[in-house]
Amino acid sequence: MAEEKSYKYVIIGGGVAAGYAAREFTKQGLNPGELAIISKEPVSPFERPELTKVYIDLSVNPTLASVYCCAGTGEEKQYPHWYKQKGIDLIVSTEIVKADLASKTLVSDDGTIYKYQTLLIATGSTYVKLSELGIPEADVKNIFYLREIDDNDELSLAMELYVQNGQAVVIGGGFLGLEMSSSLKANNHEVTIVFPEPWILNRFFTPEMSAFYEAYLTNKGIKIIKGTAVTGFNTNSDGVVTEVILEGGRTLEANIVVASVGGKPVTSLFKGQLEEEKGGIKTDGFFKTSLPDVYALGDVATFPMKMYGEMRRVEHADNARKSAGQAVKAIKAAEEGKTVPDYDYLPYFYSRFFDLSWEFYGDNVGESVIFGDTDPKTPKPKFGTYWVKDGKVVGVFLEGGTKEEYKAIAKVARGQPSVESLDVLAEEGLSFATKF
């Protein structure tokens, strides 16, 4: 007979959203035994962005404990015993393989049946595999995808193994590709980044912004091959990658390959049971789905972006944290016959690699205006970009800012002030943002 367990609240997934939802439940009031977190990962919820920023940097001797939730917001870290103390059942190394939302029943890979009153879906997103892009030999040894602790641990082992002759190829010119390139280089590996787009962070940066980062990386000794796709791999007799094959037949020597070619939300458990939109599970401003008592958080949720009057799905830790808090507040308020305000999210992205650090708020649409020092040889470069649409600033990016300056650009992106002209804005530069 299958074991059956019942909870008032169940969270599926053990990432950032799960950790912050647990934190909010304890703030709002939670009785021991009411909440279970079921995660296929073997560890407590942790700050996933730190996998490519801190955890992979062997020079700082990182530990998992340093990246547990809620380290990302400077709150108390939630070690495994924190969940015990709060009366939360943290069920790790357990995958939910079936979800029957009509009967409020979940079944795990070991056959255990979990009943719930309210379900929070926090399954996050996963990586797109190279084989999904039709690249042959994409499952050979030493090709790494970074999503879970195990992925990083395996890569760390390979980095130590090849420390004398590390030849790394990073496939993908997005956030993760850049951060991984800097970590590999900092750990004394020769690094080449390859991507099919015309410039790095193609969907986010303007060509002028990318030119700075490409020059900066090149000055650090990282090779960049743009506008080129990977078509396959060569291996040795042990099945370990030795070369990356590019279109046109050119090859790159490699004993480590890191693939970062995109992500996708993990929603297959709920297909046909919940309304979907734009690739995610459709929710309202409280992260409630098309079924009562089912909520979707973080990467899997397509929610109303109040500022822009449209539905969007946002893959970012900041939204995972905040959407988790919003959903739990809404759940607890509804139990008391109260409501909370609709979610009003300001898009936010950030990155850190080498000595660089930047933040972005708002929307990167309309015309762009770059300001500041974009010389990649400057010891402490500081520059930014405004995006202007219909005469208003709708997005702001800043490299090398202070805490106060980042707060100022966030305020501008939220307030969307009018601008006299693009020329005047370029001349004013950062002072335009700091005067509000």
Q: Which of 143, 133, 350 is nearest to 261 (CA)?
A: 133
Residue 69 preceded by cis peptide, ω within 30 = no
How far is the C-alpha of 152 from the C-alpha of 35, rounded, in Å? Answer: 29
The residue assigned the tokens 């992925």 is 151
From 163-167, 253-257, 283-287, the region with the lowest mean pLDDT: 163-167
Spatial neighbors of 106 by CB under 8 A, at least 6 apart, are 10, 12, 38, 96, 98, 99, 100, 113, 114, 115, 116, 119
Tens digits of residue pLDDT in 268-287:
999 999 999 999 999 999 99
Task: Determine the average pLDDT of the residues in 254-280.
Answer: 95
Examine the pLDDT at 61 and tell me if it is beyond 70: no
What percentage of the chain exceeds 70 in pLDDT? 97
Tens digits of residue pLDDT in 417-432:
999 899 999 999 999 9
Q: Are 285 and 318 in contact (CB under 8 A)?
A: no
The per-residue pLDDT of the chain, averaged, comes to 93
From 47-61, 101-115, 359-373, the region with the lowest mean pLDDT: 47-61
Examine the pLDDT at 55 and tell me if it is beyond 60: no
Helix axes 317-335, 16-28, angle to 10 degrees: 30
- How confident is residue 265, by pLDDT bands cut at 50, 70 and 90? very high
Task: Determine the average pLDDT of the residues in 10-21.
Answer: 97
Given this model, what pLDDT does residue 58 score? 59
CA distances from 210 to 87, 103, 261, 282 (A): 48, 51, 18, 33
- How confident is residue 303, by pLDDT bands cut at 50, 70 and 90? very high
Given this model, what pLDDT does residue 54 score? 59
DSSP state, 78? -
Task: Determine the average pLDDT of the residues in 341-357.
Answer: 93
- How confident is residue 149, by pLDDT bands cut at 50, 70 and 90? confident
Q: Are 193 and 228 in contact (CB under 8 A)?
A: no
DSSP state, 385? E
Tens digits of residue pLDDT in 72-94:
888 999 999 999 999 999 999 99
Element (H, E) at 265: strand 263-265
Whole-prediction pTM? 0.93
Tens digits of residue pLDDT in 316-338:
999 999 999 999 999 999 999 99
Given this model, what pLDDT does residue 49 score? 72
Domains detected in the chain: 4-126+264-335 (3.50.50.60), 133-261 (3.50.50.60), 355-434 (3.30.390.30)
How far is the C-alpha of 125 from the C-alpha of 109, rounded, in Å? Answer: 20
The residue assigned the tokens 């520059």 is 383
How far is the C-alpha of 142 from the C-alpha of 253, rounded, in Å? Answer: 13
353, two tokens: 């690699």
